[in-house]
Amino acid sequence: MVQYKILGPGIQPASQTPAQTELRIHGTGEVLAVPVVTSTKVVELKELLAMKLGILTNELEFLNRVGGYWRKQMDHEEVSRKVCVKGIKSFKPQRAEYEHPFLIIGAGHIGLRHGLYLLQHEHPNFVIVDRRDKVGGTSWISQANKTSKLQTELGTYHLQYDEMNPVPKDMSTWPTRDELLEHFAKVSADYGLTPYIQLQTNVKAISVIGTSSDSGPLGEVSLEMTRNYTGVLPPEPTGKGLKQMTVSCVFMYPGNLSFPRQHEYKGEDVFGGMIEYAMFDTIDYDVAVRGKSVMIAGHGAFGVENIRTCCEYSSGQIYMVCRRKNLACPRVCSWFVNQSDPPVPAPLFIESMEPAYNMIGFDPWTYHSVISNSARTNAHIAQKSRFGIGDVYFLAVSMGKCEVIVDDVKRLSEGRVHLESGRELSVQTILKVFGFVGDNEVDRLMKIKSMYGFWPDRDNRRFTASEYPGVHASNFGGTSLSPGAIVFAQDATHMMWFPKDWRRVVNSEQLPVNTRDESISRPAYVIDAKTSLPLAFILPALCPALGEMQASLGIMKKQKQLACHPLERFLEECAAEWDEYGRKWKAEDPSLKDPPSYPYTLAKVKEREEEQQRREERQRDEEAAAERRRIQPRAPENKMVHAPVAAAAAESHDAYSDDDIDDDFEVVDLDTLDVEDFVIVREDFISDSDGGEELLRGSGTKQIKASGFLFGQQRMAERVIRMHRWDGRSWASEKDAQCQAETTAGVPIQQLSRLRLATFNILADCFPWPVLLAIDSEKRFAALAEEIARLDADVLLLNEVTSNSLGVLLASEYVRRCYYVSELPSGVNGTFAGPHGCVMFSKIPLQSCYALKVEAMKRPAIFGRLLIADRQIAVCSLHTVAFQNPRNKAVRAAQISQVVTFAQQQGLNGFFVAGDLNLHYTCEDGVVLANGLLDAWAETHFCESGDRNPGFTFDAEVNSMIPRYIPGEVRKMRLDRIFASEGCCLVPSKPCELWATSAVDAPRDIFLSDHYGLVQDLRLDPKGWQSDAAVRRQLETKATAPLEEHPVSNLSFCMALASHTVWLALRILGLR
């Protein structure tokens, strides 16, 4: 008879009976009723109030009445039903009051949106100024022409976009320039914003007094009345003089599309036709393109838009010449992203583009901007240009009206363009669209030395933001401006209204810093997509009030998009416009190919929608489960339940594998189980062949659940573990240890401003006897203990550690004297979840330490937080899956991304991920780019001043022990890495180095390991660690390399194995 064993939390859950607590403020009588459960603790309500009010929990006191007395409630107690609260005056956050107005520079989309936000939130003390004679901004007044239309959809691009107002119903899906300018003016008037706007007003100067709102008002601004401003030449003064005005702060929205990037071709003087920068409405397209062959130079968003403009003016043949193609976005894909919540992952986004790209014979997955795994299940898009959005590009290429040529212009001659490839083009007009450069006047006017996020020089009274140039993302939540505009308004205003929150943001040192880059003519205020990416996560994390405000923006975007553009009607409009253009072009030029049918059907789009909906449902389920875990009481201690595995399987461990892939093994932390969920494990799992494995995997029972966050469809669980330290008698847990580290290398921990970080795969001793015979682990581990003492690292991350090897290392007098350790030979923390695991040694006491269960792997990564000169740093020891095959390459990429995502959510000043990452293929360097990381070895050796040392940590030609236990092995690889987060406050003080490279017993081919270790010396630098451009170019090239074949063929392996058998026999006899 089959028996079952029920494994559960093992304790009675705390009461979840609904209740209500009445909070009454001492001295004012203001009352707030809060829904709670019986077991809600005092500290939980304190944290709720602290988050809402922007204060610290220790500023609050809760008192409850006991008989005739008031008693102070302790944080750990269940909160009473009636509580008196001391330490605050109101349950509403108290805004800072300012005598002088807020100044908004720029009456474009973002500036007007900010003004509406202030009016809606009852702050009428502001002024909006703009140099033009009407509202609308540079993009629509100066750059758009009369045929220009909105590339994205109206549902996510309109001025009254917020939770209070409905979507406009009286405008087209893609409004024209004139429609949008009329819209901006009408909304400004209807919503009462017009009286606050001063047009034809130029800000000549801004004085800056002090460093933040704590210093008082920002200072005086000088305003000058102007006229005839076109956006190209400086505004013309009216001669009425300057007006001085004291302001509390300045919010400036200059836009990034300021001046065209210029480049002159050889031979322009003899070309004879028109050559124009097609960025501003200064071209007479009737003269320039009608009936003429045109070359568009550049493949960015403006290049794609100029194809549409040329077609509107009935041009002849169009040649789009570019050095490399950027991704363009079909209209349906833009709609798909804008109606999504949560964001669409890059693989699904690229798949949604495929119908359009297949029609023109291009594969979007092969573009330079796409970094993906071979299975195309993970992807990242990084390009310097924003997406050109529209269908005309695809229709024009498919009909032959436009030809995309990847080449460079060598020179011009009369009526001809000579390309580097030798091809010649006969054209009459050249339109240059090389992108834009920012306006250095913004840096001068705002007195910007560096940007801290969106704030110049860490001053909450100065704020400047605009659309980010380029794309850098793995998930896509929108292609339009309005959702970002409301975030800008909230971020800037909140930090003025609640300066306590700003002080916390400044003290955290966590926002990215941006400075002027002369090499690419980029002012400091222009923040690219990569630099801006962390801001969307860091600001809400540092400021919970902002996080709460912005938490619902995704669902609001989805609702507005679908209310404005139902799918069926949207597709009908797209197809109708497609057919209209096709008929028009065919009539103008019968030699063109027949227009193809619109590449998107209702069935295709619904299929993508359904896939995204399934993802949304999974996320909602995960959030609900996380909330249940949050309120569930935790068990008193960590206990691990291992699903039974056949003993024979453990003994037959593959000698040449890490036993990495978690195909038949689940580790369950009872602390992470939901109260109502139980894991049912069959006692006869091993012997019963009737579905035991299926039962363990969840067939017939609920899936095992664990705490953590979602990655794709996998969940990563984190579990708190305790560090241990030698107390003179034994390795005691950190809370019990009497001996505490006070210094490292003679420097007090509190004054530490540098770090020596090292990683090493020590080569486990859990292999079958032929391998153990070849690697002599006893001698290696004894030598390693001495090598660790010579290295003297502050933090040491070890891979492939077993109970036996750890016992040897922990017996070292040096290790006992210097280090906290994350595991003991007894496996007290449960991190030896398999034959071996990762271990962390640290001289610096950790703030916290976690075991992270990553995708498809038994052994957890070890993640520790520590303080370096009051900066929060994290280090993670990770050992990914091995083997040179495409499947494991994809798994490695997912494992690294999981750990990086976890680290990015921790609110750190920097983090490091290090260990044997098993990056076998050259193209796996793409994980560095995909995750926004820095490769320590590459950054310090592959840079322009570097020595180009390849840094092989696995070198079968030099390390003669490797072929002794892996017959025929000849590879040289950088398997081990130290990755840092970009902008990390710790930077290299010298190049990364190899360590543990010497032989232990050279005559017998015994080395410390089959790997070499890495060590990086680091120092504190407030500017942060930034990527070297030369290194990034090399990594981008490597990321596109094809997958290499394994160099050892079956025949050569058999020959090596025969030789190896002879060598083993001699070793057994003591002759080797």
Within a 13 Å sphere around the CA of 744, how many CA atoms are in the beta-carbon half?
A: 22
Instruction: Answer yes or no: do 393 and 496 share one domain.
Output: no
pLDDT at 943 over 80: yes
Whether the bond into 342 is cis, omega within 30 of 0: yes
| Stronger pLDDT, 625 or 203, i.e. the higher one | 203
Instruction: Answer yes or no: do 854 and 971 share one domain.
Output: yes
Spatial distance between the Cα atoms of 575 and 568, rounded to a whole number of angstroms: 11
User: What does the pLDDT average to over 997-1023?
Assistant: 93
User: What does the pLDDT average to over 521-539?
Assistant: 86
| pTM: predicted TM-score of the whole model, two decimal places | 0.61
Which are the contacts of 625, defined by CB distance < 8 A and separation ≥ 6? Answer: 674, 705
pLDDT digits (tens, 9 = 90+) for 151-169: 999 999 999 999 888 899 8
User: What does the pLDDT average to over 599-607?
Assistant: 89
Domain that holds residue 82: 18-86
| Stronger pLDDT, 790 or 869, i.e. the higher one | 790
State the chain's mean pLDDT as an integer. 84
The single residue listed with the structure tokens 């929205």 is 253
The single residue listed with the structure tokens 């700003």 is 502
pLDDT digits (tens, 9 = 90+) for 406-452: 999 999 999 999 999 999 999 999 999 998 888 889 999 999 999 99
User: What does the pLDDT average to over 866-882?
Assistant: 92
* 8 A C-beta contact, residue 131 and residue 201: yes
pLDDT of residue 1050: 65
Measuring CA to CA, which residue among 409, 495, 463, 440 is closest to residue 103?
463
User: What does the pLDDT average to over 989-1013?
Assistant: 93
pLDDT at 33 over 90: yes
pLDDT of residue 636: 40
| φ/ψ (deg, to 5) at 168 | -70, 140
Q: Kindly indicate the confidence band of residue 656, based on its pLDDT and cuts at 50, 70 and 90.
A: very low
pLDDT at 739 over 50: no
pLDDT at 901 over 80: yes
Q: What is the DSSP letter of 857?
A: B
Measuring CA to CA, which residue among 957, 971, 955, 968 is closest to residue 1051?
968
Question: What are residue 102's DSSP bridge partners?
Answer: 126, 249
Question: Which CATH number does the domain housing residue 390 bear?
Answer: 3.50.50.60
Token duo for residue 857: 């792997």
Instruction: Answer yes or no: do 921 and 982 share one domain.
Output: yes
pLDDT at 568 over 70: yes
Task: Please provide the size of the chain in residues.
Answer: 1072
Instruction: Answer yes or no: do 753 and 858 share one domain.
Output: yes
Residue 11 lies in a domain: no
* 8 A C-beta contact, residue 440 and residue 523: yes
Instruction: Answer yes or no: do 187 and 264 share one domain.
Output: no
CA torsion angle for 705, 706, 710, 711 (degrees, to 10)? -100
Which are the contacts of 1026, defined by CB distance < 8 A and separation ≥ 6? Answer: 982, 983
Token duo for residue 840: 């962390």
Q: Kindly indicate the confidence band of residue 735, based on its pLDDT and cuts at 50, 70 and 90.
A: low
Token duo for residue 721: 């573990």
Q: What is the DSSP letter of 730?
A: S
pLDDT at 643 over 70: no
Residue 170 lies in a domain: yes
* 8 A C-beta contact, residue 810 and residue 826: no
pLDDT digits (tens, 9 = 90+) for 1011-1024: 999 999 999 998 89
User: What does the pLDDT average to over 495-509?
Assistant: 91
Residue 610 lies in a domain: yes
Residue 733 lies in a domain: yes
pLDDT of residue 653: 30
DSSP labels, 826-880: T-TT----SS-EEEEEESSPPSEEEEEE-TTBSSPEEEEEEEETTEEEEEEE---
Most confident of 373-382, 759-768, 779-788: 779-788
Q: Kindly indicate the confidence band of residue 716, based on its pLDDT and cuts at 50, 70 and 90.
A: low
Give the strand order in the sheet containing 513-514: 455-456, 451-452, 513-514
- Least reliable range by pLDDT among 105-109, 258-262, 691-695: 691-695
* 8 A C-beta contact, residue 476 and residue 612: no
Spatial distance between the Cα atoms of 451 and 749, rounded to a whole number of angstroms: 31
* 8 A C-beta contact, residue 294 and residue 427: yes
- Least reliable range by pLDDT among 134-138, 702-706, 959-963: 702-706
Within a 13 Å sphere around the CA of 866, how many CA atoms are in the beta-carbon half?
A: 25
- Least reliable range by pLDDT among 287-291, 648-652, 961-965: 648-652
Q: What share of the chain is helix, strand, coil (3-state, %, to 5)?
A: 35, 25, 40
pLDDT at 16 over 90: no
pLDDT of residue 423: 95
Question: Which CATH number does the domain housing residue 984 bear?
Answer: 3.60.10.10
Roughly what angle, to the nearest 10 degrees, separates helices 553-564 and 331-338? 130
Chain centre distance of CA 260: 29
Residue 775 lies in a domain: yes
pLDDT at 681 over 80: no
Write down which residue in 86, 120, 145 finishes a domain: 86
Question: What are residue 1013's DSSP bridge partners?
Answer: 995
Instruction: Answer yes or no: do 913 and 771 share one domain.
Output: yes
Residue 246 lies in a domain: yes
Instruction: Answer yes or no: do 811 and 909 share one domain.
Output: yes
Residue 910 lies in a domain: yes
Query: Other CB atoms closer than 10 Å to residue 338's CB: what's the count?
Result: 28
Token duo for residue 25: 């403020």
Which are the contacts of 89, defined by CB distance < 8 A and separation ≥ 6? Answer: 25, 27, 28
- Least reliable range by pLDDT among 251-260, 582-591, 703-712, 1043-1052: 703-712
Write down which residue in 615, 648, 677 finishes a domain: 615
Instruction: Answer yes or no: do 225 and 265 share one domain.
Output: no
- In a 3-state reduction of DSSP, which class is residue 26? coil
* 8 A C-beta contact, residue 435 and residue 298: yes
Spatial distance between the Cα atoms of 1000 and 784, rounded to a whole number of angstroms: 9
Question: Which CATH number does the domain housing residue 34 bear?
Answer: 3.10.20.90
Query: Other CB atoms closer than 10 Å to residue 757's CB: what's the count?
Result: 23
pLDDT at 785 over 90: yes
Give the strand order in the sheet containing 709-711: 709-711, 714-720, 848-853, 861-868, 871-877, 910-916, 976-981, 933-935
pLDDT of residue 1051: 64
Instruction: Answer yes or no: do 417 and 448 share one domain.
Output: no
- Least reliable range by pLDDT among 333-337, 717-721, 808-812: 717-721
pLDDT of residue 173: 96
pLDDT digits (tens, 9 = 90+) for 459-478: 999 999 988 888 999 899 99
pLDDT of residue 532: 84
Token duo for residue 499: 């300066």
Spatial distance between the Cα atoms of 135 and 185, rounded to a whole number of angstroms: 6
pLDDT at 627 over 70: no
pLDDT digits (tens, 9 = 90+) for 40-79: 999 999 988 887 887 888 889 999 998 888 899 998 899 9
| Stronger pLDDT, 1057 or 367, i.e. the higher one | 367
pLDDT of residue 884: 85
Instruction: Answer yes or no: do 850 and 935 share one domain.
Output: yes
The single residue listed with the structure tokens 């703009």 is 130
Q: Kindly indicate the confidence band of residue 817, based on its pLDDT and cuts at 50, 70 and 90.
A: very high
Residue percentage of the chain with pLDDT more than 70: 85
Residue 1006 lies in a domain: yes
> What sign results for the dihedral spanned by CA atoms 452, 455, 460, 465?
negative
Q: Kindly indicate the confidence band of residue 629, based on its pLDDT and cuts at 50, 70 and 90.
A: low
* 8 A C-beta contact, residue 841 and residue 707: no
Which are the contacts of 929, defined by CB distance < 8 A and separation ≥ 6? Answer: 371, 380, 382, 1032, 1035, 1036, 1039
Chain centre distance of CA 898: 11
DSSP labels, 794-834: SEEEEEEE-HHHHHHHHT-HHHHHH-EES--TT-TT----S
Instruction: Answer yes or no: do 533 and 501 share one domain.
Output: yes
Instruction: Answer yes or no: do 318 and 248 share one domain.
Output: no
Spatial distance between the Cα atoms of 743 and 726, rounded to a whole number of angstroms: 16
Q: How many domains are there within the chain?
A: 4
